[in-house]
Amino acid sequence: MKVKTSGHGLNLRQSFIDNANKRLQKFDRFFNDEADGAVNVDLEKDRYTVEITVKSRGFFFRTEKTSTDLDSAFREAVDLMMRQIVKNKSKLGNRVKAREVELAGEELELAPEADSEQEYTIAREKRFLVEPMSEQEAILQMNMLGHTFFMFRNADTNELNIVYRRHDDSYGLLVPLN
């Protein structure tokens, strides 16, 4: 797995970068050689937020943890990612190497969860007209509705897009690949 590390608001120590590469290499047993990993660290006031993203075969795994200690936040994010992979092994199907997921579950000694095989249910369905508009208009509409995301037809490209509010109160845009 290729791993990229980046820090926002701080310079990452080489020892942290080496440790991140070493810890994320443990995920090689789940993914093929083409998997890409990214470790992003943000420092805001006295709190470190570590975000780990792994992309493999068009599938994304993402975890985020915040702590006053950088190493603690990183360890917790790695452990959370491992638990997510093990918990969702049946839903992930062939996207990860099934036998390796089973072995990782045994290593973690996780108690079996009753809802691990549970189907997701849709509680409500909404239908609405998707109007052509600019990204700025979509953000304004989302904020007026008090939502955290908003689907719209991009007036420039005529494609369906989604704007969303991020945890840091900035905005993101989801654009489908063709």
Could you report the average pLDDT of every consecutive run of 10 residues in the chain (178 residues)?
A: 89 92 85 82 91 79 90 92 73 52 50 58 83 90 85 93 92 90
Residue matched to tokens 């917790």: 76
Same domain, 46 and 102: yes
Same domain, 8 and 83: yes
CA distance 3 to 23: 10
Same domain, 91 and 141: no
- The confidence score (pLDDT) of residue 117 equals 59
Asked if residue 122 is part of any domain, the answer here is: no
CA distance 46 to 13: 17
Asked if residue 69 is part of any domain, the answer here is: yes
Measuring CA to CA, how many Å separate 91 from each of 15, 94, 131, 141, 152? Answer: 36, 9, 34, 35, 29
CATH code for the domain in which residue 15 is found: 3.30.160.100
CATH code for the domain in which residue 169 is found: 3.30.505.50
Q: What are the structure tokens assigned to 151, written together?
A: 């689907």
Query: What is the pTM for the complete model shown?
Result: 0.58
- The confidence score (pLDDT) of residue 62 equals 86
Asked if residue 19 is part of any domain, the answer here is: yes
Closest CA to 78 of 30, 8, 10: 30
- The confidence score (pLDDT) of residue 39 equals 93
* Number of domains observed in the structure of the chain: 2
CA distance 126 to 130: 12
Measuring CA to CA, how many Å separate 86 from each of 11, 39, 82, 124, 169? Answer: 33, 20, 6, 29, 31
Asked if residue 127 is part of any domain, the answer here is: no
- The confidence score (pLDDT) of residue 72 equals 93
- The confidence score (pLDDT) of residue 41 equals 93
- Domain range spanning residue 73? 2-111
- The confidence score (pLDDT) of residue 110 equals 47
Q: Is the separation of the CB atoms in 30 and 103 below 8 Å?
A: no
